[in-house]
């Protein structure tokens, strides 16, 4: 199958899944951060845990060779700072890049504005790169995973993430019920 | 869904990268996209086609469910222009943040998260920290813009 056909198919499925999950809705997306509706958190962690466990088992069955899957390298400081700035933008914009595409495709003009803003921000970053370069290139750690950082076996970390996710899902349910009563 | 991308395409998902490539291409500025050519989310053309699919999938799903509606999402006390400006401003911050971090929610948090990448988890935790900070301590009008 042509790689671009796969890319398109994966995009369509990703878009439809996000829309069906209600993640094309700015209210639902920001309710996550006001702690009234934790759908975003639940969808995100379900996806992460499913893909993580899927990769572990498919590798064990010999279907996938995870050594051939590219892992983005870690740049600790710029990723921490970028995440902070991004989080502030997420609450202001009401969408993240993927969900703003979905919402804009569903007719929401504010999502279109967010998309335009992302393009503008990218441009700004490019223009300011000489200034940002020291931060952008700080703390390169290469391709490094959590098991390597903490010195545990991968299975241990996978188990820890699953247990943490289950505990967090239970806590999320409790927070949502409390928000409903208010 | 994310697992499917790993299995079928040998890579994860990415959205902000596609915007970056489109912008970099449009203005002929290589620096805009940064240097994440070797990221887990894949290369320029692949990302652009994936995001084209994302738009089609989102539109089809919304239309099929009767959720397609041309409107500006905003709270009762927020004007359309104010909401559009905040939405734009949020986008600018995310554009800068995503390039600095070399990825967004899909490329770093989801893809990197599932691969247990240290950078992916760093980005995700920082994202939630920044978002909760503003959602609880930010200006009241910003917090209430969708309520």
Give ipTM to 2 decimals: 0.95
Q: Tell me: do B63 and B114 sit in the same domain.
A: no
Mutation choice for A interface testing from B11, B42, B48, B58 by most A CBs within 10 A:
B58
Last residue within a domain, chosen from B20, B47, B71: B71
Contacts of A10 in chain B (CB under 8 A): 4-5, 8-9, 13, 50, 53
Q: Are residues B46 and B83 in the same domain?
A: no
Domain co-membership, B145 together with B115: yes
CA-based nearest residue in chain A for residue B101: A79
Q: Which residues of A touch B21 (CB under 8 A)?
A: none
- B3/B60 same-domain check: yes
Instruction: Tell me: do B93 and B61 sit in the same domain.
Output: no
d(CA B137, CA B133): 6
Residues B23 and B81 grouped into a single domain: no
Residues in chain A closer than 8 A to B71 (CB atoms):
107-109
Residues B92 and B113 occupy one common structural domain? yes
A102 to chain B: which residues are within 8 Å by CB?
54-55, 57-58, 62
DSSP labels for B25-69? Answer: HHHT-GGGGTT-TT-TT--HHHHHHHHHHHHHHHHHHHHHTT---
Q: What is the DSSP letter of B77?
A: T
Which of B71, B106, B127 corresponds to the end of one domain? B71
Same domain, B83 and B60: no
- Check if A138 contacts B (Cβ < 8 Å): no
Neighboring chain A residues of B108 at a CB cutoff of 8 Å = 72, 79, 83
Q: Which residues contact A168 (CB under 8 A, 6 or more apart)?
A: A41, A45
A103 touches chain B (CB under 8 A): yes
Do both B57 and B107 map to the same domain?
no
Instruction: Pick the last residue of a domain from B71, B91, B106.
Output: B71
Q: Which domain holds residue B136?
A: 75-147
Q: What counts of helices (H) and strands (E) characterise chain A?
A: 8, 2
pTM for the model: 0.93
Residue to substitute from A118, A139, A168, A182, interface B, most B β-carbons within 10 A: A118
Q: What H or E segment, with its residue span, contains residue A177?
A: helix A154-181
Are B87 and B19 members of one domain? no
List the pLDDT tens digit at each of the 182 positions of chain A.
688 898 999 999 999 999 999 999 999 999 999 999 999 999 999 999 999 999 999 999 988 888 888 889 999 999 999 999 999 999 999 999 999 999 999 999 999 999 999 999 999 999 999 999 999 999 999 999 999 999 999 999 999 999 999 999 999 999 999 988 87
Q: Which of A103, A99, A19, A109 is nearest to B70 (CA)?
A: A109
Q: Are residues B34 and B80 in the same domain?
A: no
- Which among A99, A96, A72 has a CA at the least distance from the CA of A86? A96
**B119 and B52 housed in the same domain:** no
Number of structural domains found in chain B: 2
CB distance from A22 to chain B under 8 Å?
no
């Amino acid at each position: 199958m042509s790689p671009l056909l796969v890319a398109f198919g994966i995009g369509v499925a990703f878009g439809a899944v996000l829309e069906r999950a209600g993640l094309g809705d700015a209210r639902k997306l920001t309710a996550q951060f006001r702690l009234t509706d934790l759908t975003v958190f639940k969808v995100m962690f379900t996806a992460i845990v499913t893909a993580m466990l899927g990769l572990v088992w498919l590798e064990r069955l010999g279907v996938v060779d995870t050594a051939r899957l590219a892992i983005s390298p870690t740049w600790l400081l710029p990723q921490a700072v970028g995440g902070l700035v991004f989080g502030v933008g997420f609450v202001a914009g009401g969408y993240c890049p993927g969900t703003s595409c979905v919402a804009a495709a569903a007719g929401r003009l504010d999502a279109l504005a967010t998309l335009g803003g992302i393009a503008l921000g990218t441009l700004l970053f490019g223009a300011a790169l000489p200034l940002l370069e020291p931060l952008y290139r700080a703390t390169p750690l290469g391709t490094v995973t959590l098991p390597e950082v903490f010195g545990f076996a991968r299975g241990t970390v996978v188990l820890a993430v699953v247990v943490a996710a289950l505990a967090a899902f239970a806590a999320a349910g409790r927070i949502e019920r409390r928000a409903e009563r208010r | 869904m994310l697992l499917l991308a790993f299995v079928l395409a040998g890579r994860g998902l990415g959205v902000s990268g596609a915007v970056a490539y489109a912008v970099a291409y449009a203005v002929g500025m290589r620096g805009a996209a940064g240097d994440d050519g070797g990221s887990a989310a894949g290369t320029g053309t692949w990302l652009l086609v994936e995001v084209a699919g994302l738009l089609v999938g989102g539109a089809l799903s919304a239309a099929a469910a009767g959720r397609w509606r041309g409107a500006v999402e905003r709270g009762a006390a927020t004007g359309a222009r104010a909401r559009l400006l905040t939405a734009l401003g949020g986008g600018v911050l995310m554009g800068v943040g995503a390039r600095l971090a070399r990825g967004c929610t899909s490329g770093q948090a989801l893809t990197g998260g599932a691969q247990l990448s240290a950078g992916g988890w760093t980005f995700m935790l920082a994202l939630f920290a920044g978002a909760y900070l503003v959602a609880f301590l930010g200006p009241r009008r910003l917090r209430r813009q969708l309520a």
